[in-house]
Structure 1
Amino acid sequence: MRSYVIVAVIILLGGCSSWPEHGKGGLAEKYQNYPLEDELYDSNYAQPEDVVTSEFEHLVLKLELLKSQDIKACMPAQLLKAQIYENRIRRLISAQMWQDAEHDLLLHYHALNQLTNHFDTVRQLTDCASVSITKPALETIKKQLSDLLNSDNQFAFNAFEITPKYAVRVAQAADLIKQLESVNILLVGHTDRVGTTNSNYELALKRAETVKQWLVIYGVPKVSITTLTQGSLKPYSETTPNDSSRHSDRRVEAIILDANNQNPQDKKEKALVKWTKIIAGKKE
C-alpha cells in the first residue's frame, strides 16, 4: 500500500512540475534575469577590442609627437625599434589577434615611456634636436586631445564621478598634455535640463573639477587648467530632450588653448582666453 502512495505522489508532482527546456534553468534563471538582454550590459565599459584599438591609436600619436620633436637626430636606433614594434602590433590588430596585441601593447607602452624620458634627458644635455614641436604636429595633437576629452559617456545621471570608459580617455589625454609646453585647457561643466538652475551650476562645476583633478593626478600641471560651469544653459543638442540627449548633455567640454598665441583669430577662442585670464587673476 505504501508503495502505491509513493508512486501516486511522484506522478502527481511530475504532472504539476514545469520542466525547463534543455540548457535552461527554469525559474531560477528567470529570477536572475538570465540570459542578459543587450540593453542590460553596461555601455560604459568598452569591449577589449575597442580598448586595444584606442590605446594603439594613442601610442601611434605619441610616437608621432616624438618624431616631430626630431628624435631621429638624437636616437635613430631607438626610434627604429619603436617603429618596428608599432608595425608588429598593427599586424596583430589587423589579424584580430587581440590577446597578443594587448600583450605587446603593454610592452610598447612602457618602452615608449622610457624612450620619452630618455629623449627628454638627451635634449636637456645636448642640442641634437629642435626644441619646439612643429605647428602641423601641434594642431594634430590638439585635435586628438579635444577628441579624447570631449568623448561621450562621461557621467551618469546626477553624478560627478567620471565613468570608467571616460577615465581611460582622460589618462590618454594627460599622457599627451605632459609632452606639450604651450597648451592651456579650459574645462566647462554641463548638465542636462533636469533639476534646478543652482543645483545644475554646482553639479556642472563639480564635474569640471573632477576632470581637472584626474588630469592633475596623471601629471598635468594644475596651473594650465581652468574650470568653469554653465550648468544646463548649453545642452549638447537643441532637440527635444530624451534619454539619449540627456546622456550627452552630462559632460565636460574641453577647449584646448595655445598659451603662446597672443592674438587668437577665432572669436570663441579669444573670448575664452579672456575668461581664462580674468579667472586666473581672481585666483591670484
Structure 2
Amino acid sequence: MHVALIVLILTCFGCANFTKNIGTGELVKNYISATFSPVMPHEPLGPEHGLRFDWQITKLHLDSLVQEGAKWCFPAAVTQAIEKQNRIARELEAGLLLDAANDLLIQRKRLNELDIQMNYVTSEIRCTPPPNQSEFHQHLEIIDQLFHMLNIDNQFAHNSIEINPKYIGQLAQAVNLLRIHKNLELSITGHSDSTGDEKNNHKLAMARANQVKRYLIIFGLEPLRITTKSVGETLPLFEGDSPGVHLTNRRVSIEILSMKKSNTSLFPRGIYERE
C-alpha cells in the first residue's frame, strides 16, 4: 500500500511543470522539465526514487514561497533557488545521486531560511508586485547573469589562494555590472576540497573568500558591499576523490543580495533581501 502510494505521488509530481511568465506578474525563470521515469509496481524502490521524491517536495516548498510573494520580497534568493532546483534535476537525470543528495541538503537549508525571512517580513507588510515589472524583469536578469559569472568552475589550485586568471577576468566583468547596479551586494563563501585536515581547510577556504574580496575591491567594488565566510570542506559541490572533483570543490560560492536601503523604484514598499 505504501509503495503504491509513493508510486502514485511520484507519477503525479513528475507530470507537474511549474512555468511562470513575467508578463502575467510572475517569474520569467522556469524550472527545467523533470519528467522522471515512473516507478512500476513490481520494481523495488532504490535510492534514486527517494531523491526524486525529495526533489519534488523541495520544489513544492519553493513553489509555495513563490506564491506567497517571495519573488517580490527576495528576488535574488528565489532566482538562485530555482537555479539550484534545476541543477539537482540535471544531477538526478544523469544518475549523480551523491551530488543530488548534497545539493538537496543545501537547498532545504536555504528554503528554510527563506521561510523564516518571509514569516518575519509578511508579519509587517505584504509582498506585492512592483509597479514597473519590465524594470523588475531586467533586475532579475542581472542577478542571473552575475550568479553565473561569479560561480564558474576551476577557480583555485591545490592548497592555494591564488585565483585562476580566467576567474579574475570574470570578477572584473562582474564589478563593471555591480558598479552600475548599486542596489546589489555579494555574500562570498569560501570552500576547500577534502584533502588536508579540517582546521587548515577552514582557514584556507576563508583566505580564498578574502582573496576574491580583495580582487573585487581592486576592481572598484566598495568593501561594504561584500561579506565573507568559510565552510571549509563541509559543503562540497561534488562528492568523490578524483582530481577533477577536488578541483571543482576548491572554490568560492557567491550569492547576490539586494541591499537593505536603496533608492530604486523596484521595491517601492521598502522590502529588501539583506537582513
Structure in which a larger fraction of residues adopt helix: 1
TM-score (norm 2): 0.47
Which of the two has higher C-alpha Rg?
A: 1
Higher relative contact order (CA 8 A, sep 6+): 2
